[in-house]
Amino acid sequence: MEFEYVVVDAFTNERYRGNPAAVVFEANALDGPQMLAIAREFNLSETTYIFPSDSPDAAVRFRWFTPGTEVKMCGHATLAGVHALVERGRFATLKTDPQSLLPIQTASGTLTARMEKLPGDADRYLVWLDLPTPRLEPVHLNADKLAHLLGTTLEALDLSLPMMKTHDGDVILFVNDLLTLQSLEPDFVGLKRFSDRQQVRGFSVATLDTLAASIHVQSRFFAPAAGVDEDPVTGSVHGPLATYLVVNDLVPFLSHTAAVSCVQAEAGGRAGLVRALVTRHPGAGYAVRIAGQCMTTMRGKLTV
């Protein structure tokens, strides 16, 4: 059997930047072990498999695999999947009608995507994704041990901003400055063991010390427990991260909505820009939407 695929760089307007995801079309004939084997072959942080929806509330269904496991949520690979479908000529009204929505059936529930035309080039679009309602709760980890596993010191952590755990099992923590963030060299074997013991998927290590005033936060993301030592740009964690900043009054509201600009970058490697909108609903919590540009870099067929 042959299956068409593309590789898409998400959260970037330049090829070979941002975070690459493979997208496999019409994956109905693939079973779980085959999808995992293909994801290992691509060896990217995520591979999206596209299926017809079996839900009346969705137009299409996505499943996501890292090289190590299936995951319930992935932001950048969802943006990549939407971009790939529209390039393929499906759901074309997303590009022409700002009110057009694409409901996506996933293991995290139905996600909604839309597109926004950017000024200038006719093919410049943002893909917007409504994320599940973020849930943050305090998490009490051995900060000294965690600092050591991340390749830094306890003094380098900004413990004035408490560690929080997201609904996806990720831990958000802050360091004092950008130099510390860029110099992290984690012990991935030890960090995986620590993650498994603490039931943590990954660690979003962030700083408010950024290179530009227009950028609110810069981060790196480590998830060896999920088979991804370092993810270049992690969409799913940026909903909770943006909400964290808003809840702690680090980003201002304008008419109940805060616009947050986030950069995630590997030290000396790939980087991407994540836009987030956090809307406050009095008495009902927060709603989060993230966006990024996407660029296709490869097309081909795989054989199973």
Give the Cβ contact number of residue 269 at 10 Å.
10
By the 8 A CB rule, do 40 and 293 touch? no
User: Largest Cα–Cα distance in the chain?
Assistant: 55
Nearest-10 Cα torsion for 303, 104, 60, 105: 80
Q: Is the pLDDT of residue 285 over 90?
A: no
pTM of the predicted structure, to 2 decimals: 0.94
Mean pLDDT over 268-276 rounds to 95
By the 8 A CB rule, do 45 and 57 touch? no
Mean pLDDT over 30-55 rounds to 97
Pairing relationship of beta strands 257-265 and 271-281 according to DSSP bridges: antiparallel
Structure token digits, residue 96 = 């022409």
Instruction: Please tell me the distance from the alpha carbon of residue 69 to that of residue 3, in angstroms, as a whole number.
Output: 21
Query: Can you give the pLDDT at residue 39?
Result: 98
The predicted-structure confidence for 95-121, as pLDDT tens digits, reads as follows 999 899 999 999 999 999 999 999 876
Query: What SS3 class is residue 93?
Result: helix
CA 66, chain centre distance (Å):
13
Domains and CATH numbers, the chain: 2-131+292-303 (3.10.310.10), 136-291 (3.10.310.10)
Terminal Cα-to-Cα distance of the chain (whole angstroms): 5
Instruction: Please tell me the distance from the alpha carbon of residue 244 to that of residue 219, in angstroms, as a whole number.
Output: 13
Identity (one letter) of the amino acid at 105?
A: Q
Q: Which residue has the tokens 């490869």?
A: 298
The predicted-structure confidence for 140-179, as pLDDT tens digits, reads as follows 999 999 999 999 999 999 999 999 999 999 999 999 999 9
Catalytic residue among 2, 14, 41, 46: 46
- Tell me the backbone φ, ψ of residue 234, rounded to 5 degrees: -105, 105
Of 178, 233, 228, 179, the closest CA to residue 202 belongs to 228
70 a catalytic residue: no
